[in-house]
């Protein structure tokens, strides 16, 4: 495994461009979608394919913005923060309130058997074939599997989401999401623009769902500890391309910092990079690229597991 040996440290305030990552990504997504629409209208197939990939990456950034909003860190205004979270959730087939309630377990019980987002990989009682199947489905059909993961948390008999007020709000949001999607699909059918819907939303959304799943696995699967540095892979790149990717992903690659400082905005995460250096033998230093972190992950996909409970059960 290749890892950084010298952490970068800074006490400087985040640059305004870094702080403006979300609106920049949102505007870029809008402009790219317009370009994709023009390319489709003109029949420029290869340009359309390239723009679909760009749209998918920018949609991935929006999914991470959804995550930031669940922490109340996307906007200074609570109303605008929750509004953005709700709107992004509509196009992710996800209730914002449900995600926020379930995501708390991921932070409170990181890599333990009560970590809802890492089910079933945190459960030693789940067979290896079942975990491999879950990994296959999530990595290849994330657009379906990820909502399933959260709806499972909400709908099962022993759901950790018990507050009646929260559950009512989730049901209301799901009803609104269903109504909006009925309206969208009805409009698409009435206007007969299925090809535009396929290229401009469905295909990019499918790719985005898989990108989200692969990033999640890079961050956690195969890590057998309970601390941020032993249950999380972080990526700290030094080159301009790595910095650009981190910017477009709202600095999510600094994932261990996020788990250690969950109340810190995405733009400030790089300031705490020194905390990613290992403090015990089971902790992992940050990786210099997504490629090196991916290679480290791939070795664990034949037996996907997360958390220190696996060491205790072996």
pLDDT, tens digit (0-9, with 9 covering 90-100), for 2-53: 343 333 444 566 777 788 999 999 999 999 999 999 999 999 999 999 999 9
Residues in contact with 8: Cβ distance below 8 Å, sequence separation at least 6, in sequence order: 236, 238, 270, 273, 274
Of 202-211, 269-278, 296-305, the one with minimum mean pLDDT is 269-278
State the first-to-last Cα distance of the chain, in angstroms, to the nearest integer: 23
Query: Nearest to residue 233, comparing CAs of 275, 283, 270?
Result: 283
- Report the residue count for the chain: 314
Whole-number mean pLDDT of the chain? 92
Q: Which two tokens stand for residue 126?
A: 């789940």
Query: Nearest to residue 68, comparing CAs of 54, 87, 58, 82?
Result: 82
Q: Which two tokens stand for residue 65?
A: 């913005």
Question: What number is the average pLDDT over the span 142-168?
Answer: 96
Give the relative orientation of helices 96-108 and 78-90 as an angle to the nearest 10 degrees: 100
Beta carbons of 264 and 18 less than 8 angstroms apart:
no
Q: Which two tokens stand for residue 130?
A: 């079942």
Pairwise CA distance, residues 57 & 249, whole Å: 9
Beta carbons of 121 and 221 less than 8 angstroms apart:
yes
- pTM equals 0.92
User: Any idea what DSSP says for residue 173?
Assistant: H
Query: Nearest to residue 209, comparing CAs of 148, 118, 143?
Result: 143
Residues in contact with 292: Cβ distance below 8 Å, sequence separation at least 6, in sequence order: 1, 2, 3
Query: Which of 203-207, 229-233, 242-246 has the highest average model confidence (pLDDT)?
Result: 203-207
């Amino acid at each position: 495994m290749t890892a950084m040996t010298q952490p970068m440290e800074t006490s400087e305030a985040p640059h305004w461009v870094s702080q403006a990552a979300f609106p920049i990504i949102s505007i870029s997504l809008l402009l790219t979608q317009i370009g994709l629409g023009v390319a489709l209208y003109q029949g420029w197939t290869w340009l359309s394919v390239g723009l679909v990939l760009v749209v998918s990456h920018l949609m991935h950034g929006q999914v991470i913005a959804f995550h930031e909003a669940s922490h109340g860190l996307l906007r200074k205004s609570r109303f605008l923060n929750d509004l953005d979270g709700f709107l992004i959730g509509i196009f992710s087939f996800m209730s914002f309130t449900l995600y926020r309630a379930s995501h708390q377990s991921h932070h409170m019980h990181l890599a333990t058997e009560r970590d809802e987002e890492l089910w079933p990989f945190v459960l030693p009682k789940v067979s290896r074939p079942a975990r491999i199947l879950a990994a296959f489905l999530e990595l290849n059909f994330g657009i379906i599997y990820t909502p399933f993961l959260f709806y499972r948390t909400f709908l099962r008999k022993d759901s950790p989401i018990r507050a009646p007020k929260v559950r009512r709000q989730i049901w209301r949001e799901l009803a609104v999401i269903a109504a909006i999607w009925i309206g969208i699909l009805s409009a698409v059918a009435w206007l007969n623009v299925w090809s535009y819907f396929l290229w401009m939303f469905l295909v990019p959304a499918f790719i985005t769902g898989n990108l989200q799943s692969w990033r999640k696995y890079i961050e956690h699967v195969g890590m057998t500890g309970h601390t941020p540095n032993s249950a999380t892979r972080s990526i700290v790149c030094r080159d301009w391309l790595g910095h650009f990717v981190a910017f477009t992903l709202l600095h999510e690659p600094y994932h261990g910092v996020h788990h250690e400082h969950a109340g810190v905005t995405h733009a400030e995460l790089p300031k705490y990079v020194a905390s990613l250096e290992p403090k015990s033998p089971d902790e992992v230093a940050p990786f210099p690229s997504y490629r090196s972190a991916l290679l480290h992950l791939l070795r664990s996909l034949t037996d996907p597991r997360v958390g220190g409970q696996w060491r205790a059960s072996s």
